[in-house]
Structure 1
Amino acid sequence: MKATSEPTRVTEDYLAVIWKATEWPDDGHTPATSAIASALGVSLSTVSAQLKRLAGDGLLDYRPYGAITLTSEGEKIAREVVRRHRILETFLVEHLGFAWDEVHEEADRLEHATSDRLIARMDDLLGHPAVDPHGDPIPCDIHEAPSPGVPLARCVEGQRLVVSRVSDENPDILRYCAKRGLAPGAHLTILERLDSTGLMSIEMEQGQVELSAQIAGAIRAVPKGD
C-alpha cells in the first residue's frame, strides 16, 4: 500500500529524522529506533508502531530489529522537509537577525506550515545557498552537496583544517562555538588530539581553544585547501 494523501506532520518528522541519520554514510550511520525515539522525544513502542504504519504506507522498508530504509517516495518527502527546514533556518539568520542557536526550533515550527511557493521565494532571495548557517547541506538539484568532512574528535596533531559543519542539536554548543569563531569556514590547526582526559586543543587566528569531547564531536572539518 502506498500513501495517497498529504503526509502528516508526524510522518514528515519521522521521515526527516531517518533521512538525516543516513546523510553521512562515511560514519556508517544507520537509523535506529532508539535514535529516532530520542530525536522525536517519544517512546520506543511509539516509534515501532509508527515505523510499521509508514512501512504499510509504502514510505519505508522496516522489519523489527532490522535495517530501516526509505522508499523512493519516503526519501522524496524527507528531502523536501529537510530542504524547507534548512532554507527557513538560513532565512531567519540572514534576513531576520536570529542567532544560529535560535533557529532550529523556529524552523521546526514553520517547516510544516510554510508553502512551497514561499520556500521557493526565500530560496531565490537567499541566492540558492548550498548549506544552512550550521553548514548542513540544503537538498536541491542545482548543486551537489559539499563534503561533510569528519568530526574534529577524529583528527590528529598538525592537521590544518576548515570547519565545514557544526551540529545544531545542542544550542549550548552552538553558543560556545559562536563565541570562539568556530563556524563553517573557520580555519584551525590541531595542537593536541582528543586524549584520555576528554579534551583537545586547537589553534585559531584568535588563539588557542580547548574543546571537550562532546564539542569536538559536534564540529566537522575538511583539510585546508579542499
Structure 2
Amino acid sequence: MARSNDRTSQLRAVGPAIAPAAVAVVLIAANLLNNRLAPGAYVATCAGGAALLLLAARWDGCSWPDLGLGRDSLRRGLRWAAVLALLVLAVYTVAALLPPTRTAFEDERAGGSPFPEVLYNVLVHIPLGTVLLEEIAFRGVLYAMLARRYGVPKAVAVSSFLFGLWHVLPSLGLASRNAAVESLVGTGTGATAAAVTAAVAVTALGGAVFCELRRRSGSLLAPMGLHWSLNGIGFAFAAALAAG
C-alpha cells in the first residue's frame, strides 16, 4: 500500500511538468488525423482526443470547475447556450433571406447533401466531433492550464492564438469550397494564402469570444452552445438553401 501511495504521489508531482507536452502531442496528432491521415474516423478521433486531454488536465491538477465542467455551473451554461442558439438562428434567418448575404451559405460540403447526411452532420459530426474536441481543448484544458500558470488574460491570448493555428490545415481548400470566400480572394496560391490567413485571424478572434463566454458563464456549455449553433445551424441552412 505504501509503495502504491508513493507511486501515485510521484505521478502527481511530475504532472505539471509533463501534462502540457501531452496536450501538445494529442492536439497535433488529432489535427493530422482529422485533416490528412484518417478523416473518416473524425468523430472517434475527436472523442478520444477530448478524453485524453481531460486526463492530462486532471493529471496537471485542474479541477472540474477549472475546466468549466463543474456541477454548479451546468444549469447556467445551458441557459447561456439556449439563448445564444436562438440568437444565431435569428441572425442566420435574416442573412438567408437577404440576397447580399445569402451567398455566404453556398458551401460545397453542404450542397446536395441528402437529409440523413445533414442530420448526421448537425447532430453527430459537429457536436460530438468539432465542438467537443475544440471546446474541451481550447476553452477547457488549455484555458485552465494556462490560467493557473499565467493568469486569465494570457490564457485567453495564447489559447485563442493556438485555436487560430488549429484551423490552418482545414482552411487550405476554403476558397474553392465557399462561394463567398472565393468571390473575395479569388483562386490560386495567393488566394489560398489569403483565405488561410483570414481563417486563422477570424477563428483566433472567435476563440477570444468563446473564452469570454466561458469566463462569464463559468461553464464550458456556453461556448459549446454558440460553437454548435454557428456550425450546425449554418450547415443546416446551407443544405436547405442548396436544395432549393
Q: How does the TM-score come out when normalised to structure 2?
A: 0.27
Q: Give the structure with the higher percent helix.
A: 2
Q: Give the structure with the higher percent strand.
A: 1
- Name the structure, 1 or 2, with higher relative contact order (CA <8 Å, separation 6+): 2
